[in-house]
Amino acid sequence: MSMPATSSDRAKVVSKLPGWLRQNLKIRTAQLGIEIQTAVEQGITAWCELASASTTIDTAGAESFSTFLPPGQWEAFRKVAEDRRVSLIQGLAQSVQLWLDTHPAPDVQRPAITRRIVVCNQKGGVGKTAITAGVGEALSEDSNRLFPVRVAKALASALRADEPDEAVVETDPLDVEKLPGPGLRVLLVDFDPQCHLTNQLGAAPLAMNGDSLTNHMAGDPKGELKDLIVSIDDDHFGGRLHLLPACHDAFLLDVRLSAVRAREAALERALLPLEADYDVVIVDCPPSLGLSMDAAAYYGRRRDSEGPGQSGALIVVQAEDSSADAYDLLTNQIEDLRNDLALDIDYLGIVVNLYDGRRGYIATSSLQGWIDIKDPRVVGLINDLKEQKEAVRMKQPLLSYAPASQQAIAMRALAREIS
Ligand SMILES: Nc1ncnc2c1ncn2[C@@H]1O[C@H](COP(=O)(O)OP(=O)(O)OP(=O)(O)O)[C@@H](O)[C@H]1O
Ligand SMILES: [Mg+2]
């Protein structure tokens, strides 16, 4: 035990703490948004005020641990420990455990109304499916574990509007923070007859002659929709990440919907019974602008008593010229639906995917073009990197295949940006 250095108003203390206890402290302080030194200070204060030492903690294998405490606190603590005939390491471990016991993990913040995120763009291959999966994975990550996230300021500086040439996002390790997962219950809906999301997550497309979302939307169900849902099992997601697989019968969806009354509401009618089990439903749209897109946009509309920006359309684009025309067509369709049916359909933002600033002026100036739209604003910038393609090849969720990759870090930032 020593006090080798002093900071401005606190003294550095070097002691020891078992690794598991230090980890619990790290997670809990991150969950509560408290500094470790504050937690240790509070724990020591509370421990010194106890009538006697608490339950002995196994401190075998304790490792070096240093923190900063208010001047004089360590000396006072040392005296109390001596009186109680416990070692300083034991006293510190008990103090930290006491703080943990009196500062439980916060409850997961669940939305009052299940959020609906509609990931769309009729342009093919821009990354709708990748973004649907990545955002869903990020939102369902364990709230009792820490994951690397690109902090907001990094995104902001990467997207600096006045310096397009600077808009090359190589994530600086200093801009990465470890944060607890949101721990939300997420349903991914594969709304694309191509079944890409289903295949990419290692699930099987539904059989053509069985039940499907298409049947439910067409008013011809063959059972309960919830019976078709599969869990994407990985301990990061703790059983909270589910998928409603697609069926190739969705190629006929527009035809079947044409005979359905209030067909814009068909997706909502089908999915409503599932919502009680989920905090967020994310719909991976097909690359088309047909009736199914209307139904998806309608599903994402702002409901009565729902705050703005909770649900809506998340538009995935690329930093290239052809994306701009596609964007205009899509937003025109959403505008028409808004006006024709007098709906509030919010934009959750634009995600610029498959970005590679090394492609030069076309990429950087297109990115600038997306930033200049401002409303909706760019909420995510995901680089073109190998991990996404590898995860698809391995049929694994990106965030469990490469949890520390730049893409995973950016997906977590995106998920938080639209929360
Ligand atoms: N950021 C990325 N970096 C590298 N590869 C990516 C990235 N995002 C997507 N991809 C790859 O690009 C391809 C197209 O992506 P994806 O299937 O997500 O696009 P999509 O918009 O859903 O396509 P579609 O319109 O056919 O539904 C896939 O092979 C995917 O793995
Ligand atoms: Mg897709």
Mean pLDDT of 338-356: 95
CB of 394 closer than 6 angstroms to any ligand 1 atom: no
**Which of 171, 196, 318 gets mutated to test ligand 1 (max ligand atoms within 8 A of its CB)?**
196
Rounded mean pLDDT of 46-63? 93
Q: Is the model's pLDDT at 161 over the cut of 50?
A: no
Q: For 80-105, what is the mean pLDDT?
A: 97
Give me the pLDDT at residue 175, please: 81
Per residue in 104-134, pLDDT (tens digit) is 999 999 999 999 999 999 999 999 999 999 9
Confidence of residue 385 (pLDDT cuts 50, 70, 90): very high
Q: Residue 160: pLDDT band by 50, 70, 90 thresholds?
A: low
Q: Which two tokens stand for residue 249?
A: 């019968």
Q: Where are the domains of the chain?
A: 11-102, 115-417
Who has greater pLDDT, 254 or 160? 254
Probe target for ligand 1 pocket from 293, 314, 392, with the most ligand atoms within 8 Å of CB: 392
pTM for the model stands at 0.91
Provide mean pLDDT across the span 343-362.
93
Residue 2 reports pLDDT greater than 50: no
The DSSP secondary structure of 98-124, one letter per residue, reads HHHHHSPPPPP---SS-EEEEEE-SST
Task: Report the separation in Å between the CA atom of 284 and the middle of ligand 2, taken as the mean of its atom positions.
Answer: 7
In this predicted model, what pLDDT tens digit does every residue of 167-201 receive, in sequence order? 444 555 558 899 999 999 999 999 999 999 999 99
- C-alpha 130 to ligand 1 mean position (Å): 6
Pocket test for ligand 1, best of 288, 317, 353, 359 (most atoms within 8 A of CB): 353
Pocket of ligand 1 contains residue 301 by CB under 6 Å: no
Contact 36, 29 (CB under 8 A): yes
> How many A from CA of 121 to the centre of ligand 1?
12
Residue 318 in this model has a pLDDT that exceeds 80: yes
Question: Ligand 2 (ion): which residues have CB within 5 A?
Answer: 128-129, 196
Q: Which among 312, 315, 311 has a CA at the least distance from the CA of 329?
A: 315
pLDDT at 8: 66
Mean pLDDT for 370-386 is 93
CATH, range 115-417: 3.40.50.300
- Examine the pLDDT at 4 and tell me if it is beyond 50: no
Return the residue whose CA atom lies nearest to atom 23 of ligand 1: 125
DSSP 41-52: HHHHHHHHHSSS
Residue 7: band (very low, low, confident or very high) from pLDDT cuts 50, 70, 90:
low
Query: Could you read off the pLDDT of 303-316 as tens digits, one per residue?
Result: 999 999 999 999 99
Containing H/E element for 65? strand 63-69
C-alpha dist (Å) from residue 127 to 156, 169, 259, 380, 381: 22, 18, 32, 12, 12
Token reading at 186? 């997420």
Cα of 354 from ligand 1 centre, angstroms? 8
Least confident range of 66-70, 166-170, 247-251: 166-170
pLDDT for the residue numbered 168: 44
Question: Residue 321 has what pLDDT?
Answer: 81
Average pLDDT over residues 231-253: 94
